């Protein structure tokens, strides 16, 4: 991984899986769905949405498939050694991946653009004022 791309590089807790994102994310979303809450042990997960071709991964991940709150199957990728939740592949959005922003070496440059699945938001994890919020997924453009 290149030093100049440090803001777009990341990895799991133990270092067995590393990745680099080329270009900018297509979306930065704060997700409050129950699956993200359970996978992270927190009230929400910040995701970077990227094209599959933007993501280069070194190391092997294990996968788990589940049905998302949207009703579509999602393949979740995690480190088989330390269990870090890293990537998601929603079946209903071919070629699109989510990257857990907290796994970036430096995630401080990203701010949420939208808040999704507020229908599952916990009362102790409040919204960020001024951001568009959706009970589920936002409408798709294009």
The 10s digit of each residue's pLDDT in 59-97 is 999 999 988 877 889 999 999 999 999 999 999 889 999
The residue-averaged pLDDT of 5-9 equals 66
Confidence of residue 142 (pLDDT cuts 50, 70, 90): low
pTM over 0.85: no
Give the span between the Cα atoms of 64 and 118, in whole angstroms: 24
Give the span between the Cα atoms of 55 and 23, in whole angstroms: 9
- The torsion angle over the Cα atoms of residues 95, 27, 121 and 125, rounded to 10 degrees, is 130
Confidence of residue 1 (pLDDT cuts 50, 70, 90): very low
Highest mean pLDDT among 37-51, 60-74, 91-105: 91-105
User: Do the Cβ atoms of 68 and 51 come closer than 8 Å?
Assistant: no
Give the span between the Cα atoms of 105 and 2, in whole angstroms: 12
SS3 120: helix
Query: Which pLDDT value is given to residue 6?
Result: 44
SS3 15: coil
User: Do the Cβ atoms of 83 and 41 come closer than 8 Å?
Assistant: no
């Amino acid at each position: 991984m290149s030093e100049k791309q440090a803001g777009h590089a990341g990895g799991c807790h133990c270092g067995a899986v590393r990745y680099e994102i080329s270009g900018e994310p297509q979306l930065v979303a704060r997700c409050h769905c129950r699956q993200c809450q359970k996978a992270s042990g927190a009230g929400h997960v910040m995701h970077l949405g990227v094209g599959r071709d933007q993501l280069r991964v070194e190391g092997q991940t294990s996968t788990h498939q589940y049905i998302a709150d949207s009703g579509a199957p999602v393949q979740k990728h995690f480190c088989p050694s330390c269990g870090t939740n890293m990537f998601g592949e929603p079946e209903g959005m071919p070629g699109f991946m989510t990257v857990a922003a907290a796994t970036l070496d430096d995630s401080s440059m990203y701010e949420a653009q939208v808040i999704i699945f507020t229908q599952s938001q916990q009362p102790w994890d409040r919204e960020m004022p001024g951001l568009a919020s959706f009970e589920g997924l936002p409408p798709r453009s294009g």
